[in-house]
Amino acid sequence: MGKKKKDKFDGVPIREQFKPIFRERFLEMLENNESEYEKLLDYLVMPQKKSFRINTIKDRTTDEIFENLKNKNLKLTPVSWSKNAYFVEYDKNDETCRSDLGNLVEHFLGEIYVQEATSMTPPELLEIPDKIDDDFMVLDMCSAPGSKTTQIGMMMKNKGVLVANELDYKRLGPLKINLERSGLSNVVIINNDGCMINGEEKFDRICLDAPCSGSGVIRKSPKTIKTYNPKKLKMIQNIQLKLLDRASELLKTGGIMTYSTCSMDPEENELCIQKFMEKHPEMELVKAELPSLILNNKLKSFQGVDILPEITEKTIRIWPQDNDTNGFYAAKFVKKNIEG
């Protein structure tokens, strides 16, 4: 066997691995506020904070599951913007304190779903009704591994039809396992390019968590620091716009669509939404609101391009340093009738 190629970052502290282009771009996003940028780095080099949500369609009540978890010495604090969701606070000075969510029997039984807290935001914005008809249809356009799919299915209480689409067939296995463990029976899995899904005005709700650069999940995947390359953002944005175009066609008039990424780069977020809105006057951007979510450092412009005030004010940009989470972005649309 040949020798493993030495990584030039071996032995280099994570904080010093950020590329100059990262500093340049993110300083601009933060209006050249050095202390805010340093605070961002402080959070990006921290391990991702663990969180989960309780599955409300299981036999045991949410109160029973919650009390059982507390009795196992998990220190839990609510995720304010998502129902029945909790952060796990690890106390290294308490030898009995647990944070190994994946080892819990509740995880294997599907009573809890381990999910990063920002990932819970799009389903919360979809306004799934408490009571839905059998013909109520929801599309999760890029669904694997199923975090948002299982959350939406839970909100639908196994009623109506939830279509879970995934392009990569290799990811269908984990998606299927997560759906089964969550006890969902109203889900249809399809293996398709989201841009090629057939039909017109089929769905009452669409969740588009688009493929992205992943610059918001450095806490989860530190290797993203090394692979960060803004030159790829134009190509990624083109894919995102094609998915948005198709989603707008598939959404019923009066229906709600969410767009989200786990990126902090404007090209995939505000600037992508701005291009989409220029082409689709029928898609009305509505204010995305979630309780107690701290939203500082909203973007008004980037690299000489002004961002519409409507986008700045109505969409959600989550910075890691504000909520002790990953970085995330979400927008919410309603399709209106513009005929006549």
Q: Which residues are catalytic, by number?
A: 262
Q: What is the dihedral of CA 167, 171, 172, 177, to 10 degrees?
A: -150
Whether the CB-CB separation of 307 and 300 falls below 8 Å is answered with yes
The structure tokens 């293996």 sit at 191
Query: What count of other Cβ atoms lies within 10 Å of the Cβ of residue 72?
Result: 12
Whether the CB-CB separation of 273 and 316 falls below 8 Å is answered with no
Pairing of strands 251-261, 203-209: parallel
Residue type, 20: P
Residues 6+ apart with CB under 8 A from 64: none
